[in-house]
Amino acid sequence: MCGLTGTERVPANTVGWACEVYSMLHSFRAYLILISVLVLALPGCAGAPVQEMSNARQAIKAAREAGAGKVVPETLNEAQTLLERAEINLQKRAYRDARRYAIAARGKAGEALGAVQLSDADGAG
């Protein structure tokens, strides 16, 4: 089997240099698969969730300025708590958890802002 070991299958009519070429292509294919897996795994190892943290802070600020503290204070407090958890995880370099909490904080702040806007629409109509 051309010096190959394991489960590789070489066509029966493969001899000499063709066997070496086949072996190199097989190794190259394994190398490409390894590189592909590493490239796909890199986003999971990305750095600090700077953009997500900024988005959450801006959303909370917008909700607060719109009056969420008066209309839905509990929802605004939940958003703030989620952001604080994100900041704690950011300091611990637990970036995945920090990102998750920051995204949740932004969502909760959006919920609070939506409640304020709904309240304003009800009051105007």
DSSP 2-50: TT--TT----TT--THHHHHHHHHHHHHHHHHHHHHHHHHGGGG----H
C-alpha to C-alpha distance for 105 and 93, rounded to whole angstroms: 18
C-alpha to C-alpha distance for 15 and 22, rounded to whole angstroms: 10
Task: Check residue 1 and give its pLDDT.
Answer: 47
Closest by alpha carbon to 102, among 46, 63, 59, 61?
59
What digits encode the pLDDT tens for the residues 56-109? 999 999 999 999 999 999 999 999 999 999 999 999 999 999 999 999 999 999
Task: Check residue 122 and give its pLDDT.
Answer: 79
pLDDT band at residue 43, thresholds of 50, 70 and 90?
low
Task: Check residue 68 and give its pLDDT.
Answer: 97
pTM: 0.63
pLDDT band at residue 123, thresholds of 50, 70 and 90?
confident
Higher pLDDT, 121 or 76: 76
